[in-house]
A and B are shown apart, each in its own frame.
Chain A
Amino acid sequence: MHPAFSVIFLTTLIGVGQGLFLALYTGQLYALANLLPAQSSNFYAVGSMVSLVLLFAGLIASFFHLGHPERAWRAATQWRTSWLSREVLALPAAMGLIFLYGTVHFFDLTKPLFVISGTLPVDFSLIIGGLGTLAVFGLFLCTAMIYASLRFIKAWYSPLTVANFLFLGIGSGFMLAAAFSAYQGTSLVSFYGTWAVIATLFGLLTRVATLYRNSQFRCKVDLKSAVGVHHSQLEQKAQGFMGGSFNTREFFHGRSQGLLNLIRYAFLLMVFVVPVILILLAYALESETLPLLAFGIQYLGLILERYHFFTEAQHPQNLYYQSMA
């Protein structure tokens, strides 16, 4: 497939935004259980705003993918059958809940509403955060299923696609949370850093498994089945045109194998290896800037990762556009 930069930015940006929100809420839950020091409401409010900005940037990026962005509202109608439509609903739902979560913290509306078993004070932020977490996981699922539900594109048609989107989103989000808390000077850097490393390593596992899987399989159909001529020597002589078409532009990445190998090694280094080393270094050196660098490198790596994700996909329609004599 031809990599679409609008979609690359959409998926990576909202992944980070969702992960950051999960990080904030996880931090709040840990603080509630007295496992971590409680943070100022400002920390959560600003963090939510950063998450919201990332999600909004992703939303803006997605509009560049559309031929008619002014009709985008229509995309909410077919949620019964289309994962894309479900994403269109889940994204604003998650944004709305994250906005409410930030607002509740900003205005300090965190007086306990009631107390469960005398130990667990429940306030607005806890409830809204819980709903937001559900929405965020739902959004991860919808985004990934857009690709994982296309049964013809075998490179994507796998639960590994969902796992990759989930772990890479959470990993990069927690990485940003570590950078954010380092910037704010809070004591949560090692907490967020540890979870960022764990999620990133899970992502490494699923992403490498995906790469291995995609290097092994063969397409279910071949040219014989595509044309219906079951001859052992079947070769295309003409495509029906000489100047290219939508079919030759949209479904071919047109990059050399050498470049793709380079991109693959680059993203494996930038998403998985370098950030983990940097965050460990930051822990050792108690550095405030290294987590930010770790996140920046990981995000650039994620762009390459998503680019590679598109180039991995071999569309069966390409069988009809193999050669031109």
Chain B
Amino acid sequence: MTQLALVIDLNVCVGCHACVTSCKEWNTSGWAGPLTDQRPYDADPTGVFFNRVQTYEAGVFPNTETYHFPKSCLHCEDPPCVPVCPTGASYKREDNGVVLVDYDKCIGCKYCSWACPYGVREFDEQQKVMKKCTLCIDRITDMSLPESERKPACVLACPTRARIYGDIHDPDSDVSVAIREQGGYPLQPEWGTKPSNHYLPRRKTRIQIHEDELVRVDNPLKKEALPTLPEAGETLDDVAW
């Protein structure tokens, strides 16, 4: 079984919102569109987005750290939003595990959004149906595209490659390796919804280095500094053979 998903690296996300705008651009003009806006150029603008980037701060000033946190549908392996749908408009694709909404069947009762603990479904006030991230289903399944472009718009847009896309059930895929080797974690695991999207935590890359390690004691080729003769004069050890 294939379960397509995103792995989002919080270590490199800089919060530029390129994934947000590229998602909106692709999906508002494609199969899932339009993603309607209300009062876009007015006071209190609002509208449908599949992807949002939030910002959190950990710690107390000045020892703080900023986390940019992209938030979209996690395509749970056990999605709580699907069984509650009274019409069957919400479904999980058998072949690749993507959770989708059939806009022609949705009656707009919003019950699925109540059943999602992550708040990633958004109701379209103009089309009166529930919308959500499709993982760019029209793009990833489009065989006319070259394979390098058969990826969600947000993944292609990310300038820091913070978004990795692939099949988390394939142990050798990029996403599986990233989850396994870099401590990938799901959101709110307490509920048992088994989110497919994972997040990679902040990682510190520090090495332990001591002062004396910065100066080479043993320097046979005399590469780093001019050799200084010790007080006692040259010894056999100082001679380069």
Q: Footprint of B on A, CB under 8 Å?
A: 1, 65-69, 71-72, 74-78, 81-85, 88, 146, 149-153, 220-221, 223, 225-229, 231, 233-241, 243-247, 250-251, 315-318, 320-321
Partner of B191, one of A74, A82, A221: A221
* Chain A min CB distance to B55 (Å): 4
CB pair B48 A229 closer than 8 Å:
no
* Chain B min CB distance to A71 (Å): 5
CB pair A240 B52 closer than 8 Å:
yes
CB pair B117 A152 closer than 8 Å:
yes
Closest A residue to B120 using CB positions: A317
A238 to B136, alpha carbons, bound, how many Å?
25
CB pair B54 A320 closer than 8 Å:
yes
* Chain A min CB distance to B217 (Å): 41
* A65, A69, A71, A220, most chain B CB atoms within 10 A: A71
**Known contacts A67-B108, A221-B190: A315-B119 contact under CB 8 Å:** yes
Partner of A239, one of B54, B60, B106: B54
A233 to B187, alpha carbons, bound, how many Å?
18
Q: Which residues of B contact A225 (CB under 8 A)?
A: 187-190
Contact bitstring B82-117, A, C-beta under 8 A = 1, else 0: 011111110000000000000001111111011111
CB pair B57 A234 closer than 8 Å:
yes
**Known contacts A77-B87, A228-B201: A317-B128 contact under CB 8 Å:** no
* B56, B88, B110, B189, most chain A CB atoms within 10 A: B56
> Is residue B199 contacting chain A, with contact meaning CB distance below 8 A?
yes
Q: Which residues of B contact A223 (CB under 8 A)?
A: 56
A226 to B59, alpha carbons, bound, how many Å?
17
CB pair A71 B114 closer than 8 Å:
no
CB pair B119 A74 closer than 8 Å:
no
* Beyond known contacts A71-B105, A74-B87: 19 more, CB 8 A cutoff: A66-B109, A67-B123, A78-B88, A146-B111, A150-B114, A225-B187, A227-B69, A234-B56, A237-B55, A237-B66, A238-B54, A240-B20, A240-B53, A245-B46, A246-B121, A246-B125, A315-B117, A317-B116, A318-B119
* Chain A min CB distance to B27 (Å): 16
A316 to B44, alpha carbons, bound, how many Å?
25
A88 to B190, alpha carbons, bound, how many Å?
31
Contact bitstring B35-75, A, C-beta under 8 A = 1, else 0: 00001000011111100111111111000011101010000
Residues of chain B at interface, number, CB under 8 A: 63
> Is residue B80 contacting chain A, with contact meaning CB distance below 8 A?
yes
* Chain A min CB distance to B37 (Å): 10
Partner of B122, one of A152, A228, A247, A318: A247
> Is residue B129 contacting chain A, with contact meaning CB distance below 8 A?
yes
* A225, A227, A236, A246, most chain B CB atoms within 10 A: A246
**Known contacts A74-B107, A246-B122: A240-B57 contact under CB 8 Å:** no
A322 to B121, alpha carbons, bound, how many Å?
18
CB pair A320 B71 closer than 8 Å:
yes
CB pair A240 B71 closer than 8 Å:
yes
A151 to B115, alpha carbons, bound, how many Å?
8
* Chain A min CB distance to B185 (Å): 5
Partner of A152, one of B17, B45, B191: B191
> Is residue B31 contacting chain A, with contact meaning CB distance below 8 A?
no
The 8 closest A-B pairs by CB, nearest first: A67-B108, A317-B119, A67-B128, A240-B52, A81-B83, A231-B58, A85-B86, A75-B86
Q: Which residues of A contact B122 (CB under 8 A)?
A: 245-247
Q: Which residues of B contact A241 (CB under 8 A)?
A: 46, 49, 52
* B44, B49, B58, B123, most chain A CB atoms within 10 A: B58
Closest B residue to A81 using CB positions: B83
CB pair B107 A243 closer than 8 Å:
no
Closest B residue to A152 using CB positions: B117
Partner of A151, one of B106, B185, B191, B199: B191
| 6 A-B pairs with C-beta separation under 8 A | A1-B114, A78-B83, A83-B84, A221-B117, A231-B65, A240-B71
